[in-house]
């Protein structure tokens, strides 16, 4: 009888170990939840140029394969490949793009199945000091998550400054709030020493600018946001 009790207690202890391993802190749970929700809607972009190549990140905004990214990622591209989070590779065409100041572009791929999409937030509600997360493809490491805060809002240039690590390859990826809503599109880093790596000063285009750009592209359908439908203008 004693042996049975000891055996039962031992088994119970081993069964409890995985449960204990899942006792994450509240802040960790936010990171995990946002990543698992959004990462399936994030793609890697590789563009062949006349003088080399360009790599970046994109956000799926419509399930039939419409992707938002930065225009500098695909500027001058001879051909473009998009890799979805599950490793599938597609040829992409350019639907629309803006100049360097706005730095946004829309791509189209032809997936066999409907893709997961991002949720839009409202960049008018962004506050300095709030937690943010970024997902991107830095140096080819697809699906990389980093975190930080909104460090500053540059109203003159229309950019959100963050200390979340944004590195080469992250351009076009999402800057997210704690609800997993996209509040900005990663664009650039401050690089005074030309070392190309992040020093804690990164910039994102406010997502409301991206909404206007998508509307101006005159697509035929609507894009679902987290709270309402964002109707694309005809």
The residues that are catalytic are 72, 103, 171
CA-based nearest residue to 214, from 72, 57, 108: 108
Q: Strands (DSSP E) along the chain, which ranges?
A: 42-49, 52-62, 66-69, 77-83, 89-97, 105-108, 119-120, 131-136, 144-154, 159-162, 174-176, 181-189, 202-206, 223-224, 229-230
For 21-57, letters b (16+ CB in 10 Å) and e give eeeeeeeeebbeebbebbbbbbbbbbbeeeeeebbbb
CA-based nearest residue to 85, from 120, 126, 50, 45: 45
Tokens of 56: 């970046």
Report whether 97 contacts 47 (CB < 8 A). Answer: no
């Amino acid at each position: 009888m004693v042996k049975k009790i000891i055996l039962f207690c031992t088994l119970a202890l081993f069964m409890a170990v995985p449960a204990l391993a899942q006792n994450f802190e509240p802040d960790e749970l936010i990171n995990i939840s946002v990543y698992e929700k959004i990462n399936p809607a994030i793609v890697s972009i590789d563009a062949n140029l006349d003088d080399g190549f360009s790599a970046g990140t994109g956000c799926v905004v419509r399930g039939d394969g419409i992707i938002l990214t930065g225009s500098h990622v695909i500027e001058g591209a001879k051909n473009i490949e998009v890799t979805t989070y599950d490793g599938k590779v597609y040829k992409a065409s350019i639907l629309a793009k803006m100049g360097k100041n706005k730095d946004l572009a829309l791509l189209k791929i032809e997936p066999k199945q409907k893709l997961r999409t991002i949720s839009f937030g409202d960049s008018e509600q962004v506050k300095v000091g709030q937690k943010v997360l970024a997902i991107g493809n830095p140096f080819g490491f697809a699906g990389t998550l980093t975190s930080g805060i909104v460090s500053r809002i540059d109203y003159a240039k229309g950019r959100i400054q963050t200390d979340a690590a944004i590195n080469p390859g992250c351009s076009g990826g999402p800057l997210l709030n704690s609800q997993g809503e996209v509040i900005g599109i990663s664009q650039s880093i401050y690089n005074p020493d030309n070392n190309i790596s992040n020093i804690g000063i990164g910039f994102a285009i406010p997502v409301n600018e991206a909404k206007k750009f998508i509307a101006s592209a005159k697509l035929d359908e609507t894009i679902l946001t987290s709270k309402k439908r964002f109707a694309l203008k005809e």
